[in-house]
Chains A and B, each alone.
Chain A
């Protein structure tokens, strides 16, 4: 029995600070993934050309879509990785229980999403600089942060939310896999199977509808509510499931 009482918040705070250090290598993969996405983006996401007489005009379209998508994927995988055993055992360095361990993971994922979201949006500028200076003769219709500060902020904010949503999903998936390795096969199979089934049937299937629920939401307020509710539910699911695990497995 111990005489000192520690509050949950104190432990979470300590574990979180520790995790920022111990899990820091996820940011190396973030930089790497984003640079890879920037590289893919340099080909342009589309293009067209007009030729008349002796003039040939080529237009290439660019955007940072790849970077945002890759960052979401990064969030998903990072969340899975931190539920694995090697990472989970780290928590036993401190006085811990499932709640503090899960909460500090969630806070860590939130911070990681913020860093991922900001760098993903900023990477548009890296693509622009490379294209302007090395690839094209003229640039068409382009806005800078100065022209459209609101759009830039919406971009950062929505990217953070998307990455966080995928972190939450990854965390639940990771927790399920820790409970039973069967899920490591079952979940990807269900997802791919769903995609193929949707593709074959030619109708908008469940996966397309679920994605559409977030990706076609045009009201920012509703979008925020949807993401926070979903991420919240996913985390609660993961917390509940992890409580069913044996002590220190």
Chain B
């Protein structure tokens, strides 16, 4: 019942407008101008219809750009990709098998004996960290970010996500979460009087959506003897 109240208010406003607009009729109807009042009304009505028709044409021509803006993907493929990348990462073969998912690369020169891996306080890094120890001590830290494709309702949204960052200061390497990206989708449905005959479910009941986040891996290659300290809550794994 409470949900009805705003609706009722709207209905009352509408009725008020309708009644008010018809009350003014008698004053308006005898106005003489170049065109009579009724002629002006029909001009206005025609103008309104023309605007609606222009919108119809704009929609028929233009939305191609909007709808084809995102590639279609198969969710099953994404699952497989994601698992394969994980396997490749923990086996240390990510630079061969995962090369097409490489999104970003960092190189740091580092001569210290210890490295503290850190995240900004109270944040969880939205990726898994995999560390590979190199065979030698070349004084270089190589970091790579891999990400498999992610999708929403079968559309590829990988490119819309921002990339994480990394900063080396002193003996601390800080992992930075990507800037939050917000994507607005709009979905149009038929009006109730069409759905009634086509048997489509109502927009209110149909909220079927599917999201696949994709695998995100930060891969670090560090010198053989570098000692790595990291916070406990970090999802970190060493290459076997």
**A interface residue numbers (CB < 8 A to B):** 20-22, 24-33, 36, 40, 44-46, 48, 50, 52-65, 67-68, 70, 73-74, 77-78, 81, 86, 115, 118-119, 121-129, 131-132, 135-146, 151, 154-155, 158-159, 162, 196, 199, 215-220, 223
Contacts and interface: CB of A to CB of B under 8 A. Distances in A.
Contacts of B60: 144-146
A139 B191 contact: no
Given A57-B183, A136-B185, A77 B19 contact: yes
Interface in B33-64: 36-38, 41-42, 44-45, 48-49, 51-53, 55-56, 58-60, 62-63
B67 interface: yes
A139 B41 contact: no
Contacts of B19: 77, 81
A81 B45 contact: no
Q: Which of B19, B184, B188, B198 has the most CB of A within 10 A?
A: B188
Contact of A28 (B44, B62, B189, B203): B44
B181 A45 contact: no
Contact of B14 (A70, A132, A199): A70
Given A65-B192, A145-B56, A217-B196, 20 more contacts: A22-B29, A25-B22, A25-B29, A27-B42, A46-B203, A53-B126, A60-B185, A68-B193, A86-B25, A138-B186, A139-B67, A139-B186, A140-B185, A144-B59, A151-B198, A154-B194, A155-B190, A155-B194, A158-B196, A215-B196
A142 B237 CA distance: 44
A78 B67 CA distance: 40
A74 B1 CA distance: 24
19 contacts: A25-B37, A36-B17, A48-B207, A50-B152, A50-B209, A55-B150, A57-B185, A60-B184, A60-B186, A68-B192, A68-B193, A78-B18, A119-B48, A123-B52, A136-B184, A142-B63, A154-B194, A217-B196, A223-B197
B211 interface: yes
A115 B52 CA distance: 13
B213 interface: yes
A24 B186 contact: no
B169 interface: no
B197 A56 contact: no
Q: Which of A136, A139, A218 has the most CB of B within 10 A?
A: A139
Given A29-B22, A52-B213, A122 B56 contact: yes
A123 B233 CA distance: 53
A154 B184 CA distance: 30
Given A45-B203, A217-B196, A29 B21 contact: yes
Contacts of A154: 194, 197-198
B211 A25 contact: no
Interface in B69-93: 69-70
A216 B51 CA distance: 32
B186 A136 contact: yes
Nearest to B195: A63
A56 B183 CA distance: 6
Interface in B122-173: 126-127, 150, 152-153, 155, 157, 160-162, 164
Contacts of A24: 37-38, 41-42
Contacts of A40: 10
Contacts of A199: 1
B52 A126 contact: yes
Contact of B191 (A25, A64, A118, A142): A64
Given A26-B22, A58-B183, A126 B51 contact: yes
Given A119-B48, A132-B66, A144-B63, A55 B183 contact: yes
Given A33-B14, A53-B126, A54-B180, A119 B191 contact: no
Given A62-B189, A122-B52, A151-B198, A21 B38 contact: yes
